[in-house]
Chains A and B, each alone.
Chain A
Amino acid sequence: MKFALQRCCTTPTFLKQYESSTNAVLGKLGVALIDMKDFNCCGYPLKNFDFKAYLLSSARNLSLAEKENLNIMTFCNCCYGSLKHARHVLMEDDSLRKEMNVVLDKENLCYNNNVKVKHLLEVLYRDIGIDSIRDLISKKFKGLKIATHYGCHLLRPRKIMQFDNPFAPTLFDELVEITGAESVPWATKLECCGSPLYGVDDELSMDLMENKIIDAKKSGANYFCVACCYCQLQFDRVQKVMISKRNGNGHQKLPSILYTQLLGLCLGIDPDTLGINQNELDIGQIVKFLS
C-alpha cells in the first residue's frame, strides 16, 4: 500500500513527532508513504482570504499525486478537509476545474478527478483494517481513559467528508479502544478545539479549549487523543500557555497524545521514535498504563 504524504506546514517547526510516529506506525503496518517534495500547502489558511488561491493550492497537490498515480494521505484534519473539499468542488464544477488546469498547465500539470484523499485514521480503519492492527498489538493499556477528540474537518461537512456520522461517530473511538484504553463519552467531544482563533482572539480560543478540558475531565479522562496537527498544537502548546496564564482558575489540565503515539506504544515502538518526550505537556506517565 502506497500513499503520497501531504505534510502539514506546522509539522517541521512544531510537531516533528507526529511525522516520526506516523512513519514508524505505518512502517510497521506495511504502508509506504511517498515524500512529495513538490507538494505545497493544502491552502487551508488561504481559505479566509482568497478561495481560488486555496483551491489552486489543493488542486496542484491533487494533480501532482495524479501524475504519480497515487492517492493522498494526510494526518492533519485541516489538510484533509481542504483537499477533500477542493476535490469535491473540482469534481462538481467543471468550469472551475478547467480554470485551475489552465494555471497548472504552466507547470505541465493537469487534474482529472482521479485522486482519492484519505485521512490517516481512514487508512488505518478501512485500508489496513482494525483486525490486522489488532493482530500486531503486543502491549495493551489497562485502566486508561481517553477523551477521543475527532476534530471538525474530519466529520464536517458530512456531504464532502463522508468519514463517519458527524453526530455520532465511532471510527476513531474504535481505533482508540483496540489499544485497550477506554474511550469515554464526554459532552463537547465533537466541538472545535479553538485553534483557528489562536493568534486572533486568544481568550476566546482558550475559552473553547477550557470548556473541552473541563468536560473531558468530568468524564474521568486521563488524556485527550487527537489525530490532527492543529488540534494537537492547541491541546499541547496552547494549553501550556493557558495553564500559565489562567493559573487562578484553579486549574484543569489534560495533556493530549497523538493517536500514532498511542498506537505506536502498543505496537512496541520505542517511545523516543514516537517522540513521547517531545510534547510540551508531559505524557510520559502514560506508559504506566501499559501491561
Chain B
Amino acid sequence: MFFHASLYLSLIIFSIGLIYKVSTWFRYSFDEEIKRIGAFKRVSAALKGILMTVFSPKILLLIRVFILDVLIQGRLFKEDFLRWFMHMCLFWGFMSLLIVHSLDKLITSKLFTNYSSTLNPFLFLRNLFFVLILLGLGIAVYRRFFMKVPRLFSHMRDHFAIAILSLIMISGILLEGAKIVSYTKYQGMVEDYADTDESEALKNLESYWVENFGVVSPNVKGPFEATVLANGRELNETNCAACHSRPNWAFVSYGVSKAIKPVAAGLDRAGLTDFLWYVHFLACFIGLAYLPFSKMFHIFTSPLSLLANSVMDKEISDPTNITTRQIMELDACTHCGTCSLKCRVGICFEEIPNVNILPSEKLASVKALVAGKKLSDHELSRIQEGLYLCTNCTNCTVVCPVGINLQDLWFNVREAMLQKGYPELLTLSTLSFYRGLSRNGRGEQSYRKPIAIAKRALEEEFKLKDADNHTLNLTNIDTGFKKILGISNQGNTFSYCFTCKTCTVSCPVVRNFENPPKRLGLVPHQIIHAALLGVKDLIFSSDMLWLCLGCYQCQENCPQGVKVTDILYELKNMAMKHIKGGKTISIMREKS
C-alpha cells in the first residue's frame, strides 16, 4: 500500500514536472520578438519542424546520430576516453537495470514466460549492471572530488545526482545481500510455496538452503549429513528450483551476505530487509519525482539536443524553433565541464575572476536569466561581460558531448542583453570583430546601439569632456597616476616625450580626419602629455583611446622610444576597469 502510494505520488510529481519543464521550452525566450509569438504557435512550429524532418531523408541522419552519439556517445569518446568509459558504464548499466529490474513486471516478464527475479541470468545480470554503475560512479566521484580538472566546478546538482544514484544502487545491493541470509524471508517463502508441512522434511530443506543458499538459520547448523542434504535437495527441486538459482551467481550481493553472516540473525530480527527495502524504493521514487528538476533530466534532453542540432541550421531553420531549441538546450547541459576546459579564453578566468567567462557556468547563469530570476545589476553586468569575453572560436560547441550549439547560444543571448541597455565596454574592443562579421540581417540601429551605449557610459563617467570652456578641473588630476602605469613592462618611457608629435603624425586614424581633435578628443601626443600631468578623465573620455588600432605606427616612429601604443593599451585597461568597478553601469541601467 505504502509502496504503491509513494510510487503513484512520485509518478504524478514526475509528470507534472515534466510537463512544466517542457512548457518552459515554449514559454521562455531571450528574444522579445519570439516571446511575443506565444507558446501555442511555438509548439505548432516545433511540431511542424519535427514532422518535416522525420518524413524527409534527414531521418537517416537522425538514425545515425542516435546510434553514434546517443547510444555509443562518440562525441564524448573523441574528447576523453576515461569520461566516455565512465558514462558508458553509467548509461548502459542504468538503462539495463531499468529494463531488467525496475520495469521487470512490464518488460522482462512479458518477454520471458518463466521470468523470476531470483533466476539466472537475471540474478547475475543485475549484479553485473550494478558493478558497471558502481564503476561509473566511482570514476565520477574521483573526477569531481579528487582529480584536479582545471576550471571544473561542482554544484549541488552534480552532488545530488551522484548521491541519489549511489543511494539507490547501494541500498539495492545491500537489500539483496540481506535477503539471501534472511531467515524471515526464507520462512515466508516456505509458508507460501512448500507443498509439505512435515517438520522433518522442512528441516531437511532448511538444511539444504543453509548449506547451499546462504540462509542463516537459528534452528539448524552444519555440517549436515549427506542424506539430509539429499532429501533437502529433492524438496528444493520440486518446490523452489523453478524460481531460485544459486545465490552465488549474484556475485556482489552474495559477497555482502557472506560479510554480514556473523550478525545476520540479529539484523534479520531487527527488520533489516524491510528497512533496506524502504530506503531502496523511496530513493528510487525521490529520484523519479525530482528527475525533471535535477541534472538527471539530461536523460531526455541530451539526446534531443544531439538530434535537433544534427538537423537544424541557423540559416535555414525557423528562428522560432531555434529559440525553442536553445531554451531546451539549457536543460540538456550535464555540467560536465568539457566546454570550460577547452574554452580558448577559459584561462583568463584566473586573472579576471568572473565565472561567467567559463561556458559551463555561463550556461547556468543564462538559465537563471531566461527563467526570469531577479538578478542584481552587478550580476547582470557580470553575465554580459562573460558573454562578451569570447573569441567565438566554436571550441565549446565542437567539444560539447551533448551537442549543444553553445556558440550560437552565447551570441543570441548576448545580443538580447546588449539591446536592453547595459553598457558593455568590451564592445569597444577587437572582441567586436566577430559581431561585425556576423551582422547579417541586423538592423542598423540595433547594430550600433551597444556601442553608442558604451560611449555614453564613458561620457557619464568622465564628464570632463563636456566642459565647453576648455579649462581643466584640477580636482581630477591624479598625481600618482603615472606611477601606476607600467604594468605592461613599458613603465615610465612616456617621461621621455618632448612633444614632437611624430606619433600623432604617423597615426592612420588621426590622418583620416580633417579636424582630428574635434573627432578624437586628445590625439596621441596629447594623451602622453595628459598622462604625465595625471589628467586621466581627459584621456579616458577621448575617442582616440577607443579608436586606437594597436598598429604600433606611433611607437615605431617615436624618436624617444616612448612606447606609445603600449601605453594606450594600458590606459584602455584602466578605463575599462574603472567603469566596470564603478557605479555608472547601475546609474545608466536606471536611466534606461
Contacts and interface: CB of A to CB of B under 8 A. Distances in A.
Interface of A: 9-10, 12-14, 37-41, 43-54, 56-57, 60, 89, 92-93, 96, 103, 106-107, 152-153, 155-158, 166, 191-192, 194-202, 204-205, 207-208, 211, 230, 233, 237-238
B345 to A, nearest CB: 5
25 contacts: A9-B344, A12-B395, A13-B392, A14-B437, A41-B393, A45-B391, A48-B426, A48-B428, A49-B352, A49-B389, A49-B425, A49-B572, A49-B573, A51-B487, A51-B488, A51-B570, A103-B351, A152-B552, A152-B553, A158-B556, A191-B553, A198-B433, A200-B546, A201-B547, A204-B547
A46 B428 contact: no
B576 interface: yes
B351 A53 contact: yes
B429 A45 contact: yes
Nearest to A160: B552
B508 to A, nearest CB: 5
A56 B347 contact: yes
A93 to B, nearest CB: 5
B250 to A, nearest CB: 43
A48 B556 contact: no
Interface string B324-356: 000000000000000000111111101110000
Contacts of A230: 433
Which 7 pairs from chain A and chain B are nearest by CB? A199-B432, A199-B436, A156-B552, A9-B393, A48-B429, A9-B391, A53-B348
**Interface size bracket, B side:** 35 or more
The residue among B552, B555, B576, B577 with the most chain A CB atoms within 10 A of its own CB is B552
Contact of A106 (B150, B430, B509, B563): B150
Contacts of A56: 347-348, 350-351
Nearest to A106: B150
B382 to A, nearest CB: 14
Contacts of A53: 348, 350-352
A260 to B, nearest CB: 20
The B interface, classified by DSSP as helix, strand, loop or mixed, is helix
Contacts, number: 174
B424 to A, nearest CB: 11
B370 interface: no
A206 to B, nearest CB: 10
B512 interface: yes
B346 A191 contact: no
B347 A200 contact: no
Nearest to B349: A53
Nearest to B399: A37
Contacts of B434: 10, 13, 199
A13 B314 CA distance: 14
A107 B147 CA distance: 11
Nearest to A90: B489
B270 interface: no
B360 interface: no
Contacts of A200: 427-430, 432, 436, 451, 546-547
B240 interface: no
B436 A198 contact: yes
A216 B433 CA distance: 24
Contact of B551 (A47, A158, A191): A191
B571 to A, nearest CB: 11
Contacts of B547: 197, 200-201, 204
B277 interface: no
B141 interface: no
Contacts of B435: 199
A199 B433 contact: yes
B394 interface: yes
B366 to A, nearest CB: 21
B350 to A, nearest CB: 5
Contacts of A156: 551-553, 555-556
B556 A60 contact: no
A216 to B, nearest CB: 15
The residue among A60, A191, A200, A211 with the most chain B CB atoms within 10 A of its own CB is A200
A99 to B, nearest CB: 10
A48 B573 CA distance: 6
Contacts of B148: 106
